[in-house]
Amino acid sequence: MSTLSALPAMPMSVQLINLMASLMLLIAFAMLAQRRIRSLIYLFAWQGAVLAVNCLIVAWYTGHGELYLSAFFTVLLKVIALPLVLHYLIRKLDIQWDVETLINIPTTMLAGIVLVVFAFNLALPISQLAGTITRGTLGIAIAVVLLAFLMMITRRKAVPQVIGFLAMENGLFFAATSATYGMPMVVELGILLDVLMGVLILGIFFFHVREAFDSLDLKHMEKLKESGE
Amino acid sequence: MYLLDAAPAVPLDLILGVVLFWLLIGVAGVLRPRSLRFVSRLLFPLGAVGSVVLMLAALLAVRVPPVVAVLPLGLPDLPFHLRLDALSAFFVMLVGAVALGVSLFSVGYFRRGEGALPGLLCLQYHVFLSSMVMVMLADDAYLFMVAWETMALSSYFLVTTSHRIAEIRRAGFLYLLIAHIGAIAILLCFGVMHGGGGDYTFDALRASELPVFWASTAFLLALFGFGAKAGLLPLHVWLPEAHPAAPSPVSALMSGVMLKTAIYGFLRITFDLLPTPLWWWGVVTLVLGLMTALFGVMFAAVQSDMKRLLAYSSIENIGIIFAGAGLAIIFHAYSNPHLAALALVATLYHCLNHAFFKSLLFLGTGSVLHSTHERNLGKLGGLIRNMPWVAGLSLIGALAIAGLPPLNGFVSEWLLLQAFLFSPGLPNPYLNMLVPLGSAALVLAAALSGYVMVKFYGVIFLGRPREEKLNEARDAGIWERLGLAWFALGCIVFGLFPMAVILLLDHVSLPLVNFTLSAAVSGNSWLLFAPVAAERASYGPLLLLLGITGTLLVTFVAVRVFYHGRTRRGAAWDCGYPEQTSRMQDTAEGFGQPITQIFEPFFRVRRQMPDPFSSEPVYAKTNEDHLWYWLYLPIARANERIASWIGLLQHGRIHLYLLYSFVTLLALLLFMH
């Protein structure tokens, strides 16, 4: 938080945005630590909600009208639609409970902390160049992306990986709003649509995977490689 | 001619028209792909008409100054540039001339139920022809590569016409692989010549002033790339596989014209686009060419498949052509325009000749194959009785390829030898001594090619049929005969009237090496042909023909009148063998045996000798190519090993894959940081 403390007196807007950013990071860590898929989906929905609120705050203070629309779509898709789809999926597939991780949780958390430090270090020169009111949050955005990536790596089952993928997208979206007040509307809508499509396709895919392997455990896919070696 | 003075762009328009016409014919073939009648009785004759126009237009274009044009095709801001100069016109003429004969032959050749649908074949065939013309016309690297790749792909599909046979698929793959390796080298060559500034038109490439190192790199890349297409050692392996696999008209086109596109590209880059060559470029080309020639002819002598034999003979001829080109480069580098022109003209002349006689022989094997369903020389023989037309016309091709006067093969080889023997005029003492040795290699190759042709012709057409079914062989139809006769006519005319050809080739050599032989030629009478000086060497083909005919007539009359006057008739002495079967003839293997013995280290010979007490003795012998084992298999194995190392990365665990991208991401972020 070195960049933030360097500022002499923070106006209300910056304080609010920093609050949202820390909530994002907190939820990202919570997702990393969470074993249950159902709770993971709740956390994902919460992250979407925080993202939307952040979007609203930025829109209010900067007067960028289209960010209201962004916030609306974020709520629609990431707080309502995607969690519903995911809930439906895990109910149908009957995988609501604990999932094992490849690496135990404390180790993962430690790795996460290293990543956050790395992300802040990375974002330092960029945020010093940026002129936006949200510049201090760029490091957090990168950290959220990396933490989501880490979650994808450490989970053994397929559904948490999809959630990790979606959380990565959240991080990117957060980075976009914090660095440049959001992407152009066309790009944003395109990405949202892509994410929705991706989840739908993956959902169908899960059913087929389970049909073929009787499980969604990814270790069954290890045989899908060139034999003989 | 007055018409051309008024509108010099007419030939180019005509040529482009023919290209378009061919493409339309190809598309028309797809409309009714199953109708053999429609395709072969209507479309192929139409294509032949197109090739006549093409040939005549190109013949006119050789004599007029270069014409440029820009086609509004291609990518945005990157149109196709065309240029028709004497060099391209000469090679376009070659395409037209060979396409004429092959198209005529194809009318009668393709049968129902052989490989691909006739309509598809028609499309591939005409796209192949058009792409070769476009290669010659291209005036920027972009169009050149597009046409070059179109040519490679369409010929690949033609080679794999009978793709249901695994061997043919393998041959096609090998061909495609080497064609692409060559294409990469050519692409890199253009990249090097480009040098980082300007665009990729040939004008820009000509203008870019390359340092010596980069010019040499570009030259070596061109030699490699075009050598792969032409079948230069050690990139020749696809030739003896692909030619037997393809239908005979396709083999004729590939050997007759497609190999020449590589020669065209090589000459274009070396003499036109690159700065004045260095002498060692020529030495490299010369040595590689001579090695290829000897290698090709040696392997041709031991083949027992008639199309493989011809394929190896193509390798030999390509070797001779490259040797000539190398010699021309050496002379050009030492600013000896007269001899450079002589070597270059000999090279181009040999391109022309090879296109004619090799197409003739490939088409001849096609006719034999159709009427006997046999490619193995060991099962042919005595076909001269049942197939007199094919036998007679093939004889002309065989004599021409063997380099016997007064046919065309002799003229180009003689010219090339002249060029070799004048090399003591060079200012480099080592070359003075070593280049004449090259002429010895050339003569050896020429002599052995005579040996090969005796084998080819003798085993197929002479003697007695080695199999029962050969007695039912039927002669080729009228269309096939027409195609064969066209090539045979070319072999005779180019042999008897070399001066006319040389006068044509002068237009090609003038812009490349700034000299013509016409002064030397026209100074003499039309009867006597002396490329350098009449007192050094001269050749009068018509006189020679007169002499040969005269001697033959006199001998014939003498034998007929004087000797046969006192003939006694009696039982022939049968050497103690009262019954002679066709198996007592010399076989293809037997005929090649001395060559195998003499040049044994060059072959990888595997013999399977029969047991002395065996009641069913089997004798088998194969001659394989060392290079395949020394060069290609090690590369293939190394490739496999590297692939298996890379395969270690593949665990099938998605977490590891994600980790790979994660680590890459972090590393990149850190690096950018």
For A59-69, what is each residue's pLDDT tens digit? 888 877 788 88
- Give the pLDDT confidence score for residue B1 in this predicted structure: 39
- Give the pLDDT confidence score for residue B73 in this predicted structure: 80
Considering its fold, how many domains does chain B have in total?
1
Q: Provide, as residue numbers in chain B, all residues whose Cβ is less than 8 Å from the Cβ of A225.
A: 650-652
Nearest CA in chain A to B660: A153
Residue A90 has pLDDT above 80, yes or no: yes
| Shortest CA gap A221–chain B (Å) | 6
Lowest mean pLDDT among B8-22, B625-639, B646-660: B646-660
Residue B536 has pLDDT above 70, yes or no: no
Helices (H), B160-258: 166-194, 202-207, 212-230, 238-245, 248-253
| Nearest CA-CA partner of B40 in B128, B94, B110 | B110
Q: Using the beta-carbon criterion (under 8 Å), do A122 and B669 form an inter-chain contact?
A: yes
Six-digit token pair at B662?
């994660």
Q: A222 CB near a chain B CB, below 8 Å?
A: yes
Q: Are B314 and B296 spatial neighbours (Cβ–Cβ below 8 Å)?
A: yes
Q: Provide, as residue numbers in chain A, all residues whose Cβ is less than 8 Å from the Cβ of B666.
A: 118, 146
Q: Using the beta-carbon criterion (under 8 Å), do A154 and B655 form an inter-chain contact?
A: yes
Of the candidates A122, A146, A153, the beta carbon closest to that of B655 is on A153
Residue B610 has pLDDT above 50, yes or no: yes
Cα B655 from chain centroid (whole Å):
55
| Shortest CA gap B652–chain A (Å) | 4
| Nearest CA-CA partner of B658 in A102, A100, A95, A27 | A102
Best of B645, B654, B656 to substitute, by most chain A Cβ atoms within 10 angstroms, is B654
The band of B137, judged by pLDDT with boundaries at 50, 70 and 90, is very high
Residue B46 lies inside a defined structural domain of this protein: yes
| Shortest CA gap B646–chain A (Å) | 11
Q: Using the beta-carbon criterion (under 8 Å), do A225 and B650 form an inter-chain contact?
A: yes
User: B387 by DSSP, 3-state: which?
Assistant: coil
Residue B439 lies inside a defined structural domain of this protein: no
**pLDDT, mean over chain B:** 86
User: B198 by DSSP, 3-state: which?
Assistant: coil
Lowest mean pLDDT among B118-122, B145-149, B177-181: B118-122
**ipTM field:** 0.78
Q: Mind listing the pLDDT tens digit for each residue in B486-496?
A: 999 999 999 88
Best of A102, A152, A206, A209 to substitute, by most chain B Cβ atoms within 10 angstroms, is A152
Mean pLDDT in residue range B618-628: 82
Q: Using the beta-carbon criterion (under 8 Å), do A149 and B658 form an inter-chain contact?
A: yes
Mean pLDDT in residue range A82-106: 79
CA distance B82 to B84: 7
Residue B315 lies inside a defined structural domain of this protein: no
Q: Mind listing the pLDDT tens digit for each residue in A10-63?
A: 678 788 888 888 899 999 999 988 888 888 899 999 999 999 998 888 888 887
Residue B143 lies inside a defined structural domain of this protein: yes
Task: Give Cα separations from A182 to A149, A165, B136, B565, B610 (angstroms).
Answer: 22, 20, 54, 113, 85
Mean pLDDT in residue range B103-131: 85
Number of neighbouring beta carbons within 10 Å of residue B188: 16
- Give the pLDDT confidence score for residue A225 in this predicted structure: 65
Q: Provide, as residue numbers in chain A, all residues whose Cβ is less than 8 Å from the Cβ of B643.
A: none
User: B498 by DSSP, 3-state: which?
Assistant: helix
Q: A152 CB near a chain B CB, below 8 Å?
A: yes
Residue B524 has pLDDT above 60, yes or no: no
- Give the pLDDT confidence score for residue B4 in this predicted structure: 46
Q: Using the beta-carbon criterion (under 8 Å), do A229 and B654 form an inter-chain contact?
A: no
Q: A108 CB near a chain B CB, below 8 Å?
A: no
Q: A221 CB near a chain B CB, below 8 Å?
A: yes
- Count of all residues that appear for chain B in the document: 673
Q: Which amino acid is at B169?
A: R
Residue B438 has pLDDT above 70, yes or no: yes
Q: Provide, as residue numbers in chain A, all residues whose Cβ is less than 8 Å from the Cβ of B647.
A: 226, 229
| Burial class of residue B111, CB neighbours in 10 A (0-12, 13-18, 19+) | exposed
Q: Are B449 and B315 spatial neighbours (Cβ–Cβ below 8 Å)?
A: no
- Give the pLDDT confidence score for residue B290 in this predicted structure: 93
Residue B645 has pLDDT above 80, yes or no: yes
Nearest CA in chain A to B644: A229
| Shortest CA gap A159–chain B (Å) | 13
| Shortest CA gap A153–chain B (Å) | 5
Residue B7 has pLDDT above 90, yes or no: no
Lowest mean pLDDT among A124-128, B75-79, B391-395: A124-128
User: A98 by DSSP, 3-state: which?
Assistant: strand
Residue B575 has pLDDT above 80, yes or no: no
User: B603 by DSSP, 3-state: which?
Assistant: strand
CA distance A18 to A63: 19
Lowest mean pLDDT among B293-302, B375-384, B517-526, B663-672: B517-526
| Nearest CA-CA partner of B298 in B634, B585, B605 | B605
Domain ranges in chain A are 14-217
Q: Mind listing the pLDDT tens digit for each residue in A204-223?
A: 777 777 777 777 676 676 66
Q: Using the beta-carbon criterion (under 8 Å), do B673 and A122 form an inter-chain contact?
A: yes
The band of B3, judged by pLDDT with boundaries at 50, 70 and 90, is very low
Q: Provide, as residue numbers in chain A, all residues whose Cβ is less than 8 Å from the Cβ of B659.
A: 153
Q: Using the beta-carbon criterion (under 8 Å), do B653 and A229 form an inter-chain contact?
A: no
User: B622 by DSSP, 3-state: which?
Assistant: strand
Residues 6+ away with beta carbon under 8 Å from A180: A132
Q: Using the beta-carbon criterion (under 8 Å), do B654 and A221 form an inter-chain contact?
A: yes
Task: Give Cα separations from A226 to A220, B245, B644 (angstroms).
Answer: 15, 32, 10
- Give the pLDDT confidence score for residue B571 in this predicted structure: 77
The band of A136, judged by pLDDT with boundaries at 50, 70 and 90, is low
Residues 6+ away with beta carbon under 8 Å from B24: none
DSSP run (H or E) holding A198:
helix A185-213
Q: A30 CB near a chain B CB, below 8 Å?
A: no
Residue B190 lies inside a defined structural domain of this protein: yes
Say how many CB pairs under 8 Å bridge A and B: 44
Residue B521 has pLDDT above 70, yes or no: no
Q: Provide, as residue numbers in chain B, all residues whose Cβ is less than 8 Å from the Cβ of A153.
A: 655, 658-659, 662
Nearest CA in chain A to B662: A149
Nearest CA in chain B to A101: B655
Mean pLDDT in residue range B117-126: 88
Q: Provide, as residue numbers in chain B, all residues whose Cβ is less than 8 Å from the Cβ of A156.
A: 655
A101-105, B379-383, B490-494, B527-531 — which one is most confidently predicted on average? B490-494
Lowest mean pLDDT among A108-117, B393-402, B565-574, B596-605: B565-574
Q: Using the beta-carbon criterion (under 8 Å), do B662 and A153 form an inter-chain contact?
A: yes
Number of neighbouring beta carbons within 10 Å of residue B534: 14
Q: Using the beta-carbon criterion (under 8 Å), do B652 and A222 form an inter-chain contact?
A: yes
Residue B492 lies inside a defined structural domain of this protein: no
- Give the pLDDT confidence score for residue A98 in this predicted structure: 66
- Give the pLDDT confidence score for residue B2 in this predicted structure: 41
Residue B186 lies inside a defined structural domain of this protein: yes
Q: Mind listing the pLDDT tens digit for each residue in B258-303?
A: 999 999 999 999 998 888 888 899 999 999 999 999 999 999 998 8
Of all residues in chain B, what percent carry a pLDDT higher than 70?
95
Residue B403 has pLDDT above 70, yes or no: yes
Of all residues in chain B, what percent carry a pLDDT higher than 90?
40
Beta bridge partners of A36: A98
Residues 6+ away with beta carbon under 8 Å from A126: A138, A179
Best of B641, B658, B665 to substitute, by most chain A Cβ atoms within 10 angstroms, is B658
Q: A121 CB near a chain B CB, below 8 Å?
A: yes
Mean pLDDT in residue range A158-162: 82
Q: Mind listing the pLDDT tens digit for each residue in B214-248?
A: 999 999 999 999 999 998 988 999 999 998 888 88
- Give the pLDDT confidence score for residue A206 in this predicted structure: 75
| Nearest CA-CA partner of B121 in B176, B47, B179, B54 | B47
Mean pLDDT in residue range B98-117: 83
Q: Using the beta-carbon criterion (under 8 Å), do A226 and B648 form an inter-chain contact?
A: no
Of the candidates A149, A223, A226, the beta carbon closest to that of B647 is on A226
Is the pLDDT higher at B350 or at A66? B350
Q: Which amino acid is at A152?
A: M
Q: A129 CB near a chain B CB, below 8 Å?
A: no
Residue-number span of the structural domain to which B54 is assigned:
1-207+232-261
- Residue showing tokens 């135990």: A104
- Count of all residues that appear for chain A in the document: 229
Q: Provide, as residue numbers in chain B, all residues whose Cβ is less than 8 Å from the Cβ of A226.
A: 647, 650
Q: A118 CB near a chain B CB, below 8 Å?
A: yes
Q: A117 CB near a chain B CB, below 8 Å?
A: no
Interface of A with B in 168-197 (CB under 8 A): none
| Long-range contacts (CB closer than 8 Å, 24 or more residues apart) made by B509-513 | B509/B340, B509/B341, B509/B344, B509/B345, B509/B348, B510/B86, B511/B66, B511/B85, B511/B86, B511/B87, B511/B272, B512/B87, B512/B267, B512/B271, B512/B272, B512/B344, B513/B271, B513/B328, B513/B331, B513/B332, B513/B337, B513/B340, B513/B341, B513/B344
Q: Using the beta-carbon criterion (under 8 Å), do B662 and A150 form an inter-chain contact?
A: yes
- Give the pLDDT confidence score for residue B469 in this predicted structure: 83
CA distance B148 to B225: 11
Of the candidates A102, A149, A218, the beta carbon closest to that of B662 is on A149
